[in-house]
């Protein structure tokens, strides 16, 4: 594992002959750890990178960002040296919106789009947002998050010191989502894959299908068993699906 490009990107595997690079964006409160196992599970011709945001892991002492546009602009600059071969952007939940905005920013600033945008656990950007909770006191904030997503590990909930480290980035990410202001633009040309969980109360099927107007290319929609974090609870099935999408993207991208 190597941290590169001014701390923003961690390379999770070494694949000099990779046909595709995949950049994985974090969901709210997360870092790069979620994606480490994927390096041995995905096709060997994929060079895998995970985005490391301020306020977590090696960057725990940095102030986490609360505004999406400046964050995406900086990410686009960090990625530019690695855009010399076809690439895929992937994100779950908040990461899906980051990936979508990053694709538009790269198209606008350097004239390059991903070979595919893959989004899980997130409806189309104009989907109606959930009620804001980022302003709540810690105990109410954690209770609301647990009820909504069920995504805070019990080991973290049981350790006040861990919670004190975890909450600032999580709260900042929720505020980023809550202040997100979707702006209509020309649809992307690249294909989009959108994946939902059959028991995800936050992202109904119609929100997944809502990605259709956002690409001039193919929209591939899939639904897997599980609630919001089906990428963890049903990781094996998700990796199978993700691998298949990456293989056909690699084939269409050419030699």
Q: Is residue 136 part of a domain?
A: no
Distances (CA, A) of 73 to 27, 29, 31, 38, 69: 18, 20, 19, 26, 6
Q: Is residue 178 part of a domain?
A: no
Q: Report the CATH number that the domain containing residue 205 is assigned in CATH.
A: 3.40.50.1820
Q: pTM for this structure?
A: 0.93
Q: Which residues are catalytic?
A: 93
Q: Is residue 138 part of a domain?
A: no
Tell me how many helices (H) and strands (E) the chain has. 9, 8
Q: Is residue 159 part of a domain?
A: no
Q: Is residue 174 part of a domain?
A: no
Q: What is the DSSP annotation of 81-103? A: GG-SS-EEEEEETHHHHHHHHHH
CA distance 186 to 200: 29
* Domain of 239, in residue numbers: 2-127+183-253
Q: Is residue 141 part of a domain?
A: no
pLDDT at 171 over 60: yes
First to last CA, the chain: 26
pLDDT at 237 over 50: yes
Q: Is residue 80 part of a domain?
A: yes
pLDDT at 33 over 60: yes
Q: What is the pLDDT of residue 210?
A: 97
Q: Is residue 204 part of a domain?
A: yes
Q: What is the pLDDT of residue 55?
A: 92
CA distance 2 to 8: 11
Q: What is the pLDDT of residue 1?
A: 47
Total number of domains in the chain = 1
């Amino acid at each position: 594992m190597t941290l590169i490009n001014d701390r923003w990107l961690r390379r999770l595997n070494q694949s000099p002959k990779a046909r595709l690079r995949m950049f994985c964006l974090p969901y709210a409160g997360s870092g790069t750890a979620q994606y480490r196992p994927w390096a041995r599970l995905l096709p060997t011709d994929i060079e895998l990178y995970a985005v490391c945001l301020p306020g977590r892991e090696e960057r725990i002492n940095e102030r986490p960002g609360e505004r999406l546009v400046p964050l995406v602009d900086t990410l686009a600059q960090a990625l530019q040296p690695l855009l010399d071969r076809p690439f895929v952007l992937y994100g779950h939940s908040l990461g899906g919106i980051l990936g979508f905005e990053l694709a538009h920013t790269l198209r606008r600033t350097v004239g390059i789009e991903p070979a595919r945008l893959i989004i899980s656990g997130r409806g189309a950007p104009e989907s109606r947002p959930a009620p804001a909770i980022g302003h709540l006191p810690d105990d109410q904030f954690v209770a609301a998050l647990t009820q909504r997503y069920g995504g805070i590990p019990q080991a973290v909930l049981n350790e006040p010191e861990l919670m004190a480290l975890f909450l600032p980035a999580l709260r900042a990410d929720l505020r980023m989502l809550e202040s997100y202001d979707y702006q209509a633009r020309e649809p992307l040309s690249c294909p989009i894959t959108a994946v939902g969980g059959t028991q995800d109360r936050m992202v109904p099927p119609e929100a997944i299908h809502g990605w259709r107007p956002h690409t001039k290319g193919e929209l591939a929609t899939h639904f897997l068993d599980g609630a919001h974090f089906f990428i963890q609870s049903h990781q094996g099935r998700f990796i199978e699906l993700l691998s298949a999408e990456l293989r056909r993207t690699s084939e269409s991208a050419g030699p």
